[in-house]
A and B are shown apart, each in its own frame.
Chain A
Amino acid sequence: AQSVAQPEDQVNVAEGNPLTVKCTYSVSGNPYLFWYVQYPNRGLQFLLKYITGDNLVKGSYGFEAEFNKSQTSFHLKKPSALVSDSALYFCAVRDGDNAGNMLTFGGGTRLMVKP
Chain B
Amino acid sequence: EAGVAQSPRYKIIEKRQSVAFWCNPISGHATLYWYQQILGQGPKLLIQFQNNGVVDDSQLPKDRFSAERLKGVDSTLKIQPAKLEDSAVYLCASSLSFPSGYEQYFGPGTRLTVT
Contacts and interface: CB of A to CB of B under 8 A. Distances in A.
Given A43-B91, A49-B101, A101-B100, A108 B107 contact: no
Contacts of A107: 40-42
Interface residues of B, number: 27
A98 B59 CA distance: 17
Contacts of B4: 43
Interface string B72-97: 00000000000000000001010000
A46 B104 contact: yes
Contacts of B33: 103
B55 interface: yes
A45 interface: yes
A105 interface: yes
Interface residues of A, number: 28
Interface string A71-105: 00000000000000000001010111011111111
A105 B43 contact: yes
Nearest to A46: B103
Interface in B18-68: 33, 40-45, 48, 50, 55-56, 58-59
Contacts of B108: 41-43
B4 to A, nearest CB: 7
8 contacts: A43-B93, A44-B106, A96-B100, A99-B98, A100-B50, A102-B59, A103-B33, A107-B41
Sort A-B residue pairs by CB-CB distance and give the 3 closest, nearest first.
A105-B42, A43-B106, A44-B106
